[in-house]
């Protein structure tokens, strides 16, 4: 996900600076971004958190300004609740819509990976998770509804089809309802939002590397923290190196940063996250099946996880069977890219088997870390 978003970051940053007379290839901006993110990832997480907090608040604010303008001006032809009707919600491709929705929510589960660095994690982590889901859901729902009304319910699809770059849709609404000054600020904050995204993903990956190293699935050198910053600095360096190599590969082969790098990798990443969510749902049922004395109630331990798991399996099927259309990957890539999730699962299984063979005690402790 992080490396894929770097493709969009490089393209957006290149376009932004080109408007100011600075013309550099997209991959140059990717490497600049990788360097900055690498520095933040190497240091203590609170530095990244402070920067991300400021950027995210500004991004929320400018979108809310556009929302307010559309709301008070009544949209294109009055405010309509038509976007919430079943006919509208099920129009087009439900598979693409579901994938986009899940992609929009990815990141809320990352609260748990900061447990070891949080104060009172048993209280703050669940609260942060619930608040994140609530804020993200309400914000996207409210903004999407107003964007549709801003363009006009009957004019929305033709408007989007007429745009050379559909990502400029919100900017066109800003021009129409607020003015070019805010639009210019939004173009800057769009780049900063991508930077915030890649920073958050980088921090997450570095901590996954750290845990895998600490629990001996990966080399133990990854499972250490910096003596001064207390950050998983080795994991951060490894992720930085991987990003450099992948970006260099896509640049050297002349791939499009958005249609290839961004689309292919983020769709694979989204599929991977959904598969993990489905497995987590199954693991909840399995855990309480083996430990009935710990069961809170049947709804939480069996009912809701089973329902969520079945829904996620349906979504996974839709994504895999429509992956070529979703990602723009044709031919062999259309089936190879989603198969990377299965390949990763096989590699993970083999790592676990290898750990069990060389250190049974470490294998038995897998996942037992309490926060």
Per-residue pLDDT, averaged over 25-39, amounts to 96
User: What's the distance, CA 326 to chain centroid?
Assistant: 16
Helix axes 45-73, 169-177, angle to 10 degrees: 50
Lowest-confidence pick of 15-29, 60-74, 331-345, 355-369 = 355-369
**Weakest mean pLDDT among 30-44, 86-100, 136-150, 217-231:** 86-100
Q: What percent of the chain has pLDDT over 70?
A: 98
pLDDT at res. 369: 66
pLDDT at 100 over 90: no
Mean pLDDT of 233-237: 95
d(CA 258, CA 4): 8
Quick check: 293 pLDDT over 70? yes
pLDDT at position 294 is 85
Q: How confident is the model at residue 329 (pLDDT cuts 50, 70, 90)?
A: confident
User: Residue 33: pLDDT above 90?
Assistant: yes
Summarize pLDDT for 140-181 with one digit per residue, the tens: 999 999 999 999 999 998 998 888 877 789 999 999 999 999
Residue 371: its pLDDT value, please? 47
Instruction: For 53-67, write each residue's pLDDT tens digit.
Output: 888 899 999 999 999
Phi, psi at residue 370, to the nearest 5°? -100, 140
- Mean pLDDT (whole number) for 70-91: 90
- What the block records as the tokens of 339 is 């198969």
d(CA 315, CA 274) in angstroms, rounded, equals 8
What is the reported pLDDT for 243?
Answer: 97
pLDDT at 275 over 70: yes
Average pLDDT, the chain: 90
Q: How many CB atoms lie within 10 A of CB 353?
A: 10
Task: Note the pLDDT of residue 165.
Answer: 76
pLDDT, average across residues 123-131: 88
pLDDT of 370? 54
- The mean per-residue pLDDT over the stretch 119-126 comes to 84
Domain borders along the chain are 2-255, 257-371
pTM of the shown model: 0.84
Q: Which one has a higher pLDDT value, 113 or 228?
A: 228
CATH code reported for the domain at 2-255: 1.20.1740.10
Q: Is the pLDDT of residue 327 over 90?
A: no
Query: Residue 72 CA to chain centroid, in angstroms?
Result: 32
pLDDT band for position 7 (cuts 50, 70, 90): very high
Burial of 370 (C-beta count, 10 Å sphere; 0-12/13-18/19+): exposed
Which pLDDT score is estimated for 218?
94
């Amino acid at each position: 996900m992080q490396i894929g978003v770097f493709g969009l970051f490089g393209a957006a940053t290149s376009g932004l600076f080109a408007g100011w007379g600075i013309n550099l290839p997209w991959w140059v901006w990717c490497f600049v971004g990788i360097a900055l993110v690498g520095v933040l990832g190497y240091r203590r997480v609170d530095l990244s958190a402070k920067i991300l907090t400021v950027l995210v608040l500004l991004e929320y604010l400018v979108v809310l300004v556009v929302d307010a303008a559309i709301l008070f001006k009544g949209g294109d032809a009055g405010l309509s609740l038509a976007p919430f009707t079943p006919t509208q919600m099920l129009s087009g491709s439900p598979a693409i819509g579901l994938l986009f929705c899940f992609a929009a929510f990815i990141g809320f589960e990352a609260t748990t990976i900061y447990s070891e660095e949080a104060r009172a994690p048993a209280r703050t982590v669940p609260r942060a998770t619930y608040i994140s889901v609530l804020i993200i859901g309400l914000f996207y729902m409210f903004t999407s509804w107003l964007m549709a009304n801003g363009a006009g319910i009957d004019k929305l699809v033709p408007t989007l089809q007429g745009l050379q770059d559909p990502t400029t849709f919100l900017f066109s609404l800003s021009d129409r309802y607020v003015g070019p000054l805010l639009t210019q600020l939004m173009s800057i904050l769009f780049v900063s939002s991508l930077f915030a995204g890649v920073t958050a993903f980088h921090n997450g990956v570095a901590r996954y590397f750290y845990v895998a190293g600490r629990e001996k699935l990966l080399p133990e050198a990854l499972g250490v923290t910096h003596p001064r910053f207390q950050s998983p600095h080795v994991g951060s360096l490894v992720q930085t190196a991987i990003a450099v190599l992948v970006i260099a590969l896509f640049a050297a082969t002349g791939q499009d940063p958005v249609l290839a790098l961004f689309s292919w990798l983020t769709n694979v990443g989204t599929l991977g996250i959904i598969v993990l969510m489905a497995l987590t749902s199954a693991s909840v049922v399995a855990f309480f099946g083996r430990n009935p004395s710990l069961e809170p109630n049947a709804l939480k331990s069996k009912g809701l996880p089973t329902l969520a798991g079945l829904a996620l399996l349906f979504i996974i099927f839709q994504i895999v069977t429509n992956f070529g259309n979703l990602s723009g990957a044709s031919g062999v890539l259309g089936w190879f890219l989603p198969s990377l999730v299965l390949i990763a699962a096989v590699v993970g299984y083999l790592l676990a088997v290898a750990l069990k063979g060389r250190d049974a005690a470490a294998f038995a402790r897998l996942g037992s870390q309490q926060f």
